[in-house]
Amino acid sequence: MVMDINEIREYLPHRYPFLLVDRVTQLTTGESIVAYKNVSINEPFFNGHFPHHPIMPGVLVIEALAQVCGILGFKTVNKLPADGYVYYLVGSDKVRFKRPVMPGDKLTLEADVIRGKRGIWKFACRATVDGELACEAEIICAERKVA
Catalytic annotation, residues: 49
First to last CA, the chain: 31
d(CA 91, CA 141): 7
Closest by CA position to 125, among listed 105, 144, 141, 104: 141
**Cβ of 9: how many Cβ atoms within 10 Å?**
15
